Copies of this chain bind each other. A is one copy, B any other.
Amino acid sequence: MIKRIAVFEENGFSDFNFKNFLVNDSEFFKIINFNFKAGQMLPVHSHDIDGQVSIAVMEGQGEFLGKDNSIFPANTGDVLVSDIREPHGIRAKTDMRVLVTIAPPI
């Protein structure tokens, strides 16, 4: 299996909430694109399971969020890597496109 996904063409933005688009789902990893308008966010969350998640900023800028209200810059090209059981989230300062990869897939 090999496939190319034009993520910037496949998924847009909404004034109401972030828009997510499933890029890949397999036994190995799940890849989801989230688009945020400025101000939108994926609140801090976690799941009590083994595994890791990466969040790569493809466009725009914002903030990665962690436990105890911790904040990390999230500029284009930045990647957050977190255990799934560790609290993590993201908030957009500008319109923002991110790629989330979860392994093993939830």
Contacts and interface: CB of A to CB of B under 8 A. Distances in A.
Interface range for A: 35 or more
Given A28-B104, A81-B23, A86 B2 contact: yes
A31 interface: yes
A3 B56 contact: no
Interface centre among A66, A72, A73, A77 (most CB of B within 10 A): A77
Interface string A52-65: 10101011000010
A103 B79 CA distance: 17
Interface of A: 1-9, 23-24, 26, 28-29, 31, 50-52, 54, 56, 58-59, 64, 66, 72-83, 86, 88, 97, 99, 101, 103-104
